[in-house]
Amino acid sequence: MQPNDRWLPAPVPEAPRLHEPAPDRELASGQRKLPFLKRTLGSLLAAIATLIAKLKTILLLAPKLKLLTTVGTMAVSLAAYSFVFGWAFAAGFVLLLFVHETGHVIQLRREGIKASAPMFIPFLGAVISARSLGADALAEARVGLAGPILGSIGSAACIIIWHATGNDVWRALAYTGFFLNLFNLLPVVPLDGGRAMAAMAPWMWFVGLAALVPLALVFPNPILVIVLLLAGLETYKRWKLRSAGDARQTAYYRVAPLDRALVAAVYLSLIALLVVGMHTTTLTRTFG
């Protein structure tokens, strides 16, 4: 190297660019992303299709699910009552409840109202659901009285079986059925007697409430307390609506005198027949 020559550093080789993939790598990566996207979208679409299919199945099975609800709650009630009363009486009692509620369902459908199948609540009975109880108070009374009418017929059938078999279980079922239907004729809403009072004399709701209070005190019972609370709330709500002077409420409770008399005749006749039925089937329980 000459003295006048300038020293220049040797060129440093350029470091490979680690963050920039080679063209062939970019192509390979793009090829991988597309199948991955297809797989992801395909799985998502398949999951959505499966969900839609399940929803369609649920909708198609909805009527059967309602039936399963009725059968399921009936089975639970049967098990609960069997634990206390034995399976034979429990089966007959659940059947009597079903007959009573079926009376309401039949009359609701006669009124052009879709009603659910009965749902059973252990130690509280059974209920049905409907969007209304009819176009007016007279229709409500027909729906309310249909349950005790069919329920009384079912209880009377137990008397026939009792005489045919001599088995006192049927006698006990008849008595219990008569009592159940008589209790439902108490003139308070939401019991069946309160439905009849809507067409007969709505002021009787207060008489029924006044009678329930000492009854609940003399015979402390959770069912009586629940009925009393529900009756108080329902009566307050209904009377408040009636007092508002709404034209629809006035029209709802407008009942022709002849129809009012017919409802009263059916109501009082039912009470008389149920009392006679209870007296006929009274069974003295013996111990020892």
Q: Is the distance from CB of 91 to CB of 161 less than 8 angstroms?
A: no
How far is residue 186 from each of residues 145, 172, 180, 204, 268, measured CA to CA in Å? 12, 22, 11, 10, 11
Res. 184: pLDDT tops 50: yes
Q: Residue 116 is which amino acid?
A: S
> Is the confidence at residue 251, as pLDDT, over 60?
yes
Q: How much is the pLDDT for 67? A: 54
Task: Go through 182-196 and write b for each residue having 16 or more CB atoms within 10 A of its CB, e for each that does not.
Answer: bbbbbbbbebbbbbb
Domain count along the chain: 1
Contact 193, 208 (CB under 8 A): yes
Higher pLDDT residue, 214 or 55? 214
pLDDT at site 125? 83
- 3-23 CB burial, b ≥16 within 10 A, e <16: eeeeeeeeeeeeeeeeeeeee
Determine the structural domain holding residue 198 and report its residue range: 24-280
Per-residue DSSP letters for the chain? --TTSPP-PPPPPPPP-TTS--HHHHHHHHHHHHHHHHHHHHHHHHHHHHHHHHHHHHHHHHHHHHHHHHHHHHHHHHHHHHHHH-HHHHHHHHHHHHHHHHHHHHHHHHTT--BPPPEEETTTEEE--BS-S-SSHHHHHHHHHHHHHHHHHHHHHHHHHHHHH--HHHHHHHHHHHHHHHHTTSSSTTSHHHHHHHHH-TTHHHHHHHHHHHHHHHS--HHHHHHHHHHHHHHHHHHHHHHTT-HHHHHHT---HHHHHHHHHHHHHHHHHHHHHHHHT-------
Q: Tell me whether residue 237 is in a domain.
A: yes
Q: Is the pLDDT of residue 272 over 70?
A: yes
Q: What is the pLDDT of residue 54?
A: 46
With a cut of 90, say whether residue 65 has pLDDT above it. Answer: no
Determine, yes or no, domain membership for 18: no
Q: Is residue 17 part of a domain?
A: no
In a domain, 127, yes or no: yes
Specify the pLDDT at position 2.
41
* 16, part of any domain: no
Reported as a pLDDT band with limits 50, 70 and 90, residue 49 is low
> Could you tell me what percent of the chain has a pLDDT over 90?
49
Q: Does residue 28 carry a pLDDT above 90?
A: no
Confidence of residue 144 (pLDDT cuts 50, 70, 90): very high
| Structural contact between residues 154 and 274, judged by C-beta atoms closer than 8 angstroms | no
Cβ contacts of residue 82 below 8 Å, gap of 6+? Answer: 90, 91
Condensed to tens digits (0 to 9), the pLDDT of residues 78-133 reads 899 999 889 999 999 999 999 999 999 999 999 999 888 888 888 888 888 888 88
Mean pLDDT of the chain: 80
| Burial class for 138, CB neighbours closer than 10 Å (0-12, 13-18, 19+) | buried
pLDDT (0 to 100) of residue 45: 54
Rounded CA gap, 76 and 72, in Å?
6
Identify the pLDDT of residue 131.
Answer: 84
Q: pLDDT band for position 198 (50/70/90)?
A: very high
60 within a domain of the structure (yes/no): yes
Look up tokens 């006990």; give the residue.
Answer: 172
Domain assignment present for residue 130? The answer is yes
Classify residue 219: in a domain, yes or no: yes
Q: Is the pLDDT of residue 21 over 70?
A: no
